[in-house]
Amino acid sequence: MRRDRIRRTERATFLPLASVMGKTGPMQFRFDLETIELEPDGEVLRIWLNRPQSRNAHNQKMVQEVGDLFIALNSQPDFRVAVLGGRGKSFCAGADRKEQVAPAANDLQARYIGQLGRRAARAIEDCEVVTIGRIHGHAIGGGCCFATSCDFRVTTSDTLFYVPEVELGVPLPWGATPRLIHEIGAARARQMLMTSERVDGTTAAEWGLVHEVVLGEAELDNAVDRWVQRLLSLPAMSVQMSKYQMRGYSQMSRMGDLSEFDGDASERASRTSDAQARFGTFG
């Protein structure tokens, strides 16, 4: 089976996935990826968050690229499964506090930036391709949002799941609150969000936050591969239709979904003196 890898470069060239897979035609799409590495393997696409020097802490560029990529995957029917993981020691250690971001030129630009995370998480959740989260090390803040947006999640027992936003003086953005409530129930979600409780992989499995937990990273790839092979062994159409059903029924609750305001609330709260002080000392 052919295996190609798209490696990150300082300024990557345009890379059409269809061409990488040996295909041509209208299904091609191109990316100039700086923070993500793609590893196509037949009907499987492995997607790696690729900022290992910062434990894959997400900067604005990564969040935008994640959203763009998963939206574009909807036009790639040759892929049946996408695995989202992180290079290095962690899946994603939350926001990159060292990132120097230029102030938004105006309120509309600030709102657009504030909506990038919700867009990325929703793109993963709504992707036509079945998604598996390969989670190790840390899944903090936005990293936890990326993970819970995947259809299936496999992790190690010592992985840290942690939502620190309340400790930082801001509400949880990215539309993650209703997603957590759906996945683990209101009581557990309240415990994670309102008290910023740290949860290890074993507890995450007990709560229903992940589907399988293994002892260490050495076993993680084998566990993920079992999920991949199980999904590939099933009829493609019935798997996809089942995902459509799950998505459709879960979206019935979106009639009252206010998640588009999460970014606004977080952006406003981040201006408070409490948030400014806590962001400066957190870590």
State how far Cα 271 lies from the chain centre.
Answer: 26
Q: Tell me which DSSP letter residue 252 carries.
A: G
Residues near 109 by beta carbon (within 8 Å), at least 6 away in sequence = none
Q: Using CA atoms, how far apart are residues 143 and 58, in angstroms rounded to an integer?
A: 8
Residue 86 dihedral angles phi and psi, to the nearest 5°: -130, 135
CB 142 within 8 A of CB 94: yes
Tokens 């992180």, residue? Answer: 86
Task: Please give the CATH topology (third level) of the domain spanning 17-218+238-281.
Answer: 2-enoyl-CoA Hydratase; Chain A, domain 1 (3.90.226)
Direct distance between the N- and C-terminal alpha carbons of the chain, in angstroms, rounded to an integer: 44
State how far Cα 143 lies from the chain centre.
Answer: 6
- Four-CA torsion 237, 242, 243, 244, nearest 10 degrees: 90
Residues near 190 by beta carbon (within 8 Å), at least 6 away in sequence = none
Among residues 184, 197, 91, 98, the alpha carbon closest in space to that of 146 is found at: 91
Per-residue model confidence (pLDDT) at position 25: 34
Q: Please, what is the angle between helix 107-126 and helix 176-184, to 10°?
A: 30
Q: Using CA atoms, how far apart are residues 170 and 274, in angstroms rounded to an integer?
A: 9
Per-residue model confidence (pLDDT) at position 98: 85
CB 161 within 8 A of CB 105: no
Per-residue model confidence (pLDDT) at position 272: 63
Per-residue model confidence (pLDDT) at position 21: 40
Per-residue model confidence (pLDDT) at position 258: 54
- How do the pLDDT tens digits run along the chain, 283 residues long? 434 433 333 333 334 444 334 343 334 445 679 999 999 999 999 999 999 999 999 999 999 999 999 999 999 999 999 999 999 999 999 999 887 677 777 878 877 888 899 999 999 999 999 999 999 999 999 999 999 999 999 999 999 999 998 888 887 778 888 889 999 999 999 999 999 999 999 999 999 999 999 999 999 999 999 999 999 999 999 999 999 898 888 766 554 455 555 555 555 555 666 656 665 555 5
Per-residue model confidence (pLDDT) at position 103: 76
Per-residue model confidence (pLDDT) at position 102: 72
Per-residue model confidence (pLDDT) at position 170: 80
Q: Using CA atoms, how far apart are residues 162 and 242, in angstroms rounded to an integer?
A: 30
Measuring CA to CA, how many Å separate 232 from each of 80, 123, 276? 7, 22, 48
Among residues 59, 73, 264, 20, the alpha carbon closest in space to that of 142 is found at: 59
Q: Using CA atoms, how far apart are residues 7 and 37, in angstroms rounded to an integer?
A: 6
